Structure 1
Amino acid sequence: MELKELHYQGFSSRWKSFLIDNIIVGLFLTAVSFINLSFHRDFSVYLISNIIALSYKPLMETFFGATLGKMLINLKVVDYDGNSINAAQAWLRHIFRISQFLLSVFFYYAAFHDPILLDTEGYADFQTEFLDAYAGVGYISNALFFILLAEVLFMNMDPMHRSLHDRIAKTVVVKAE
């Protein structure tokens, strides 16, 4: 068996790919959310668009070993031996974002059925009233922010540049061959 030489990637290159991916997913989600909250206010539209956005990274990493952002920066997600990751590993890498969604979805369900919120005018008013009425979403976002800080610390202290989600999934991000 031939051992692969892995070139582990740290914060800088991973941050660039993260930004690219979040622009791609963010533009989609913002456009759908804006239209939905401005005109329709339909929970199913919220749910489907968020599941699509949430699935982007795990599906791309399962089938291609990288997201579009990682591909543009020439990165790849592999297991500790340098082999392609499986679907379970890809989904585990995104456990914190999935958890945030699962914890928040109940607040959004309530909001989309709240007559006071449904009577607000436009996107901005809905968002403002939503955050006032459902402060728990803010607490969930704050917790995710602190997890993100821990992720960066772990990544910078680890010789293989593994963050918490990499450790959970037993993966590393490397320079693509």
Structure 2
Amino acid sequence: MAEAPTFKELFHDCQRSAVHLETRDAYSKTDSAFIDWKAGKSIDPQRWGAWRSIVGESVSRGVAIRRARVVSTPVSEYIRFEYDVTAGLNIAAGEDVRWLSRRDATGITLPGNDFWLFDSSLVYVNHFDGEGEPTEPELTEGPEIVKLCESAFEAVWKQATPHADFEVR
């Protein structure tokens, strides 16, 4: 099996849109930024300089980048961390970010995994182990999966609250 392209390559090839759906309440708890945040240390968004550069370059070419997060409420400690760094990381880089309480997502058909969808045609499936650590991703252009991911993202996006208006509780 060929190695999955890097995010830099995926975004470089992207022409119109990149959307990301996140549905977990915790990710890599070994992430140094999360550990620093838990310890009360200030988080410098520049630590994600490569990501900010990838997103910024894509947005400057006209690529619309949207991220939607479906979260349990009250939110987990990890989601509180994500919320706290979103403005300085994701939004500052050029992403549009929205949040949806899991309680409000009951009527939405969601895929079993987080994903990125590039130009409504290529799905990069994120896989994680039980502790939230990333495992081998999956890339597909399967029409059924693309359709499911696109409709799920748009349904979440339609109901979700913009970052600036979402209340973490």
User: Does the pair score TM above 0.5?
Assistant: no
Of Structure 1 and Structure 2, the greater helix share is in 1
Whichever of the two has the greater Rg, that structure is: 1
Shorter-chain-normalised TM-score: which range? under 0.3
Provide the TM-score with structure 2 as the length reference: 0.25
